[in-house]
Structures are given as C-alpha cells and as structure tokens.
Amino acid sequence: MRRFGAKWGAPICDALEQTPVPVGSKCDHCGEKVRKDDAGVLIDSFSHDPGEVVLHWECHTRSIIGGVNHQLGRCHCCGGNQPPDPPELSLRRSAVMAVELWEGATSHEDAIAEIQQAVEREANRKVRA
C-alpha cells in the first residue's frame, strides 16, 4: 500500500511510501475521479484490473470505521433500520462525513441536519419531476 496527496492525521501515513497523485483515476469506493488536491492510498490487488485499487483516504477510512449511519448508531448492525451510508448523499460526501463524525469534527446533530436537508432536496426534486 502506498499513499498520495497531503498527509492526513493518522500514524499510518509515516509508514507508507508516497506516490504521485493518480489524477483522473476512479476511486474504488465512491467512483469519483481523483483530483490533484485529493489524498488517498493505492493498494496492490491481484484480482483488480488495473492491478491497483485507488481510494480517497476518507473512502479508505470509511471502510474501517463504518458509514455515517453506523457512526450515528442508526444502521442495521446497530439495531436501526438505515443502510450504513445515507442514500441521499453521494458516497464521497458520505465517506467524508463519516470521517468527520469519527474525528469529532462534525456533531451528530449537524450530520443529521445535513442528511435531513438532502432528504428534503431529493423529495422536492421528485415532486418537480
């Protein structure tokens, strides 16, 4: 595993070899293309074509810490009825929010408010369509 972009606040950064940012490569979690200011990891994979998996660091971290609704204690594994990532948010935004919650950079109230806004936007969009 190698890392690219700015260091994030995890001890693992120091242990990883740095590699140029793979601008334009698709993140294996969120499907969004890596931009020049993004940070993340490259993981060698024998089953993947090309033989490297690219992940934003938030998307990689989300796979370890769990999704937003898991952080909020609302997902299936926590006894709730929500999928681990709120479907109204993009996977990328959801991964970033999961990390913010985990780091305490976002409060549960703020996260729930943002999800609620996304739900309402989605509902409005459906009414207009």
- The residues of the shown chain that bind Zn ion, judged by CB under 5 A, are 27, 29-30, 56, 59, 70, 75, 77-78
SS3 82: strand
CB 58 → Zn ion: shortest distance, Å?
Answer: 7
Nearer to Zn ion, 48 or 124 (CB): 48
Chain residue whose CB lies nearest Zn ion? 27
CB 126 → Zn ion: shortest distance, Å?
Answer: 26
Residues in the chain: 129
β-pair partners for 26 = 33
Nearer to Zn ion, 27 or 106 (CB): 27
- 70: closest CA among 86, 92, 54? 86
- 65: closest CA among 35, 31, 117, 29? 29
Nearer to Zn ion, 19 or 123 (CB): 19
Instruction: Indicate the pairing of strand 17-18 with strand 2-4.
Output: parallel
CB 34 → Zn ion: shortest distance, Å?
Answer: 8
